[in-house]
Amino acid sequence: MRLLLRITSIFSIFALILLCSCRELEPENGPGSVKWGDRTVKSATLDSLMSGETYLSVYSQIYSSKEKRTHNLTATVSVRNTNNLDSVYIEKVEYYNTAGKLIKSFINQPVFISPMETIEIVLSEDVLKGGTGANFLFYWKKKDRTPEPFFEALMISTSGQQGISFTTQGRQIK
Q: Per residue in 82-97, pLDDT tens?
A: 999 999 999 999 999 9
Residues 6+ apart with CB under 8 A from 6: none
Query: 114 lies in a domain?
Result: yes
CATH number at residue 133: 2.60.290.11
Q: Is residue 107 part of a domain?
A: yes
Structurally, the chain folds into a number of domains equal to 1
Residue with more model confidence, 134 or 8: 134
Q: Is residue 143 part of a domain?
A: yes
The answer to the question of residue 2 being in a domain is: no
25 occurs within a structural domain: no
- Is residue 27 in a domain? no
Q: What is the mean pLDDT of residues 60-75?
A: 82
**Position 18 pLDDT exceeds 80:** no
Q: Would you say residue 158 has pLDDT above 90?
A: no
In a domain, residue 85? The reply is: yes
Asked if the structure places residue 5 within a domain, the reply is no
Q: What is the mean pLDDT of the chain?
A: 80
Average pLDDT over residues 110-126: 92
Rounded CA-CA distance 119/166 in Å is 19
Long-range contacts (CB closer than 8 Å, 24 or more residues apart) made by 161-168: 164/62, 164/71, 164/73, 168/56, 168/57, 168/58, 168/59
Which residue range forms the structural domain that includes residue 92? 32-172
pLDDT digits (tens, 9 = 90+) for 21-58: 333 333 334 445 567 777 777 776 788 899 999 999 99
